[in-house]
Amino acid sequence: MKYDNKIAMVIKNNLMDWQKLNVASFLASSVAIQFPETHGKPFINASKSEYLPFIKHPVLVYKADDQAQINRAFLRAKERELHLGIYTNALFSTKNEDENHIEISKFTDETQELVGIIMYGENKKVNKALNGLKFHE
């Protein structure tokens, strides 16, 4: 199936594995919460047990080898008016949503230390925002 829109995230490559997985999980949830059309129906197995639905779109995960690469993708996504989610380095030291909001509010787009971003929007625009980045390994 071909989708008109794409979900893609960029995660800094120098994070610890647990951090990368944490960032990816939080970012993917942000798209599912904001855009109900991106997720499917609950799964029901032969036992009639019901399980949570998946995001319908593939989620492509790219790596940023340095701060400049993730900042460039972020700026290019903003220029193309894509829907964006962010995860900053400061969030690794927070314990709850209130603390997350406080930390995010302390920085501007130019001063925040991004470690992960997610974008959702038209395929061509997402591709242009990610130009030059490679998939995470």
Q: Is the pLDDT of residue 2 over 90?
A: no
Q: How confident is the model at residue 57 (pLDDT cuts 50, 70, 90)?
A: confident
What is the per-residue pLDDT for 11?
98
5-135: CATH number: 3.40.1490.10
Whole-number average pLDDT of the chain? 96
Give 3-state DSSP helix, strand, coil % of the chain, rounded to 5. Answer: 40, 25, 35
Q: How confident is the model at residue 61 (pLDDT cuts 50, 70, 90)?
A: very high
Q: What is the mean pLDDT of residues 73-84?
A: 98
Domain parsing of the chain, residue ranges: 5-135
Considering only CA atoms, which of 63, 82, 75 is closest in space to residue 112?
Answer: 75
